[in-house]
Amino acid sequence: MNCIWYLPADTSAGALGADGLEAVFIAELDSGDKLIRSGSRGAFWLEPLVEAEHAGRRVGFGNVDCESLREVLRLGPDHWSSHPAYLGDIDELPWFQRQSRLTFARAGAGDPLCLDAYESRQGYVALRRALQLAPEEIVDEVTRSGLRGRGGAAFPAGVKWNTVLQAQAAQKYIACNADEGDSGTFADRLLMETDPYQLIEGMTIAGLAVGANTGYIYLRSEYPRTLHVMREAIGRAEQAGYLGQGIGGTDRCFVIELRVGAGAYICGEETAMLESLEGKRGMVRSKPPLPALEGLFGLPTVVNNVLTLASVTSVLADGADAYAAHGSGRSRGTLCLQLAGNVKRGGLLEVPFGMSLREVVMEFGGGTRSGRPVRAIQVGGPLGAYLAEAQWDTPLEYEAFAAVGAMLGHGGVVVFDDTVDMADQARFAMAFCAEESCGKCTPCRIGSTRGVEVIDKIIARDNPQQNLALLEDLCDTMEHGSLCAMGGLTPHPVRSALQHFPQDFSFGKSQDLAEV
């Protein structure tokens, strides 16, 4: 038969049953066939998604279990299309065709650790070009592309890189924030598990651009598979001459070290991450000084997240103009969204900026998994606002979301149906902050705890008008007095729940809220 079979080996696919299928392959695969543990394409609503390549064509089978896999293996290519799990050519599915994949173009294509496969799909084209450019030219290319930080702050990557480039220091660093802790997000993990060399290549380019010879990846401890993949990929890149001394046959040097966090959400904040990297307790630093000038070990440091650094390879490989041609307004390039929660077709989407949230949730997501109406959508992680239906046509752009009191953050999109209690969600936001606060500043540490108590009183209808006024005052204090985004953004989900879903706070709240 001589088929090549692809079975995803990443965390999400494994959790959905992909690992259990390997034993079936081992037992029943024809001697002339080959099994590759690939990465996932990010269509988690189809996982376990098994693909087969035969006679120059690659087709897929969705939601495969052990029994259906045995059936497919026994059918043979001529009869695959008769099986209920048969999907045909995966790339032709509308869910994929409507996307514009740049960062995740290779996801699921093959063995994530195979360097030959990476290079055959445009891998290391960007680095080879970067090695021919002066540092200023690399920074200029990134600046002209319009790439902004994908971790949440959306700060222009080129501006940050230029600040580090101009800083005078004998040692500089690249720090990759892979402490992906927002609920409903998984894009960093998926990229590292399905296309690890892209991150390695992007970090190396960043080092060439700013004059850094050392990079650190700060990985969250909850990602053990990612740790294994990245360790193996770094080792293979070193052996192949893409890391270490003499990159690509030049006299340039760049090394990457992996560091694993200890499970603190706050270490996703850049200065807390730097503290942790230095071996200290993860607590935020006051700014200024900026990490670009006094970052890791007090030296100039580029701090970018996984998707930002990975996106640099597209910018350098295809050129700044090609990257900037995607998107709209000041939001250039593509946006990686993680569609999760109560949604029918969840997974990783990569679309140009400018698409509406309604298109993403209704057309890509297919509405709720429960079949009930969508009531609220939270974008940007646990500190993002809850958006009511009147806001779902807002374009997915940084400025457009800020104009309605929301944020794109790291691109997490969590869907809730009409059974959600938004008072509970508002309380959860404060409780989450109280649990995860580093405790350094009073507005965050104390404000979140008092916030839980005040919301409990509002729900219990204990002096609701006075407590609503107190909650508003508390939110103001947290927003303007906190040292970092943890305390500063926690009021967003609370206020949005109060504003758009007042009926969930157990009293005739519309009137009470209007009186505050």
The phi and psi torsions of 80 (rounded to 5 degrees) equal -55, -40
Please check whether residue 432 is in contact with residue 382, taking contact to mean a CB–CB distance below 8 angstroms.
yes
Per-residue pLDDT at 503? 92
**Average of per-residue pLDDT across 152-158:** 92
| Ramachandran sector of residue 231 (left: φ over 0; alpha: ψ -120 to 50; beta: rest) | alpha
DSSP string for 171-238: --EEEEEE---STT--HHHHHHHH-HHHHHHHHHHHHHHHT--EEEEEE-TT-HHHHHHHHHHHHHHH
> What pLDDT digit, counting tens, does each position of 486-516 carry?
999 999 999 999 999 999 987 544 444 444 4
Our CA dihedral for 265, 267, 269, 275, rounded to 10 degrees, sits at 160
Q: What is the mean pLDDT of the chain?
A: 95
| CATH architecture observed for domain 115-325 | 3-Layer(aba) Sandwich (3.40)
Report the distance separating Cα 326 and Cα 336, nearest Å.
Answer: 13
CA distance 339 to 412: 7
pLDDT digits (tens, 9 = 90+) for 52-72: 999 999 999 999 999 999 999
Fold of 327-417: Ubiquitin-like (UB roll) (3.10.20)
* 379: phi then psi, degrees, rounded to nearest 5: -115, 135
Average pLDDT on 166-195 reads 96
Q: Are 216 and 176 in contact (CB under 8 A)?
A: yes
CATH code at 4-98: 3.40.30.10
pLDDT digits (tens, 9 = 90+) for 223-265: 999 999 999 999 999 999 999 999 989 999 999 999 999 999 9
What's the Cα-to-Cα distance from 236 to each of 230, 325, 452, rounded to whole Å?
A: 10, 34, 49
Q: What is the pLDDT of residues 441-452, one digit of tens each?
A: 999 999 999 999
Q: Which helix (H) or strand (E) holds 38?
A: strand 34-38
**What confidence tier does 1 reach under pLDDT thresholds 50, 70, 90?**
low
Note the residue count of the chain: 516
CATH class of 422-504: mainly alpha
H helix intervals, 262-339: 270-277, 306-318, 320-324
pLDDT band at residue 214 under the 50/70/90 scheme: very high
DSSP 44: G
pLDDT at residue number 507: 57
What is the arithmetic mean of pLDDT over 370-395?
Answer: 96
pLDDT at 510: 46
Count of C-beta atoms within a 10 Å radius of residue 293: 17
Q: What's the confidence (pLDDT) of residue 516?
A: 43
Contacts within 8 Å (CB) and 24+ apart, 82-89? 85/61, 86/59, 86/60, 86/61, 87/46, 87/59, 87/60, 87/61, 87/62, 88/59, 88/60, 89/57, 89/58, 89/59, 89/60
Residue 435 banded pLDDT, cuts 50, 70, 90: very high
- Given a cut of 90, whether residue 152 has pLDDT beyond it is no
Asked if residue 466 has pLDDT above 50, the reply is yes
Q: Kindly report the number of other CB atoms within 10 A of residue 462's CB atom.
A: 11
Residue 34 bridge partners (DSSP): 4
Confidence of residue 153 (pLDDT cuts 50, 70, 90): confident
The token pair that represents 480 in the structure block: 């303007």
Please state the rounded mean pLDDT for residues 201-216: 98
The SS3 of residue 127 is: helix
Domain residue ranges of the chain, discontinuous segments joined by +? 4-98, 115-325, 327-417, 422-504
Residue 134 confidence (pLDDT) above 70: yes
418, pLDDT greater than 70: yes
- Give the Cα separation of 511 and 516 in Å (integer): 9
Q: What is the pLDDT of residues 276-315, one digit of tens each?
A: 999 999 999 999 999 999 999 999 999 999 999 999 999 9
What's the pLDDT tens digit per position in 344-361?
A: 999 999 999 999 999 999
User: Which secondary-structure segment (H or E) carries 335?
Assistant: strand 334-341
Task: Identify whether the C-beta of residue 498 lies closer than 8 Å to the C-beta of residue 505.
Answer: yes
Under 8 Å CB-to-CB from 45, ≥6 apart: which residues? 344, 345, 346, 347
Q: Which two tokens stand for residue 356?
A: 């509406």
Query: Which segments of 388-495 are extended strands (E)?
Result: 412-417
Rounded CA-CA distance 383/377 in Å is 13
CB 397 within 8 A of CB 354: yes
